[in-house]
Chain A
Amino acid sequence: MKRVLALTLAILLFIVFAMAFAKIPFGEKMSNYPDYYNPIENQTSNMSLPQHYLTYGKNDTGATNMVTAVVVDYRGFDTLGEVTVLFLASTGVGSLMYVEDKVKRKVRRSNAVVETGSKLLFGFIILFGAYIFIHGHLTPGGGFPGGAVIASSFLLLYLAYPKFHAEHKKLNVSESLAGLTFVIVGLLGLIIAGYFLYNFLPFGLPTYLFSAGVIPVIYVAIGVKVGSELTGIVDAMMGVRE
Chain B
Amino acid sequence: MNDSAYTTESTAAAQRDRDLDDPMVTVENLKKHFPLFEGIFQKKAGEVRAVDGVSFSIAEGETFGLVGESGSGKTTTGRSMLRLTEPTSGRVEIDGQNVVDLSDGELKRFRRNMQIVHQDPASSLNPRHRVKSIIEAPLKIHDYGDSEARLERVEELLDMVDLPREFMYRYPGQLSGGQKQRVGIARAVALNPKFVVLDEPTSALDVSVQARIINILEEIQEEFGITYLFITHDLSLLKNVADRIGVMYLGRLVEVGDVDSVFGSPQHPYSRALLSAISTISEEDELAKPDRITLDGEVPDPREKPSGCAFRSRCAHEFDACAVEEPELYERGPDQVARCFLHDDRFEEGAEWE
Partners in one complex: no
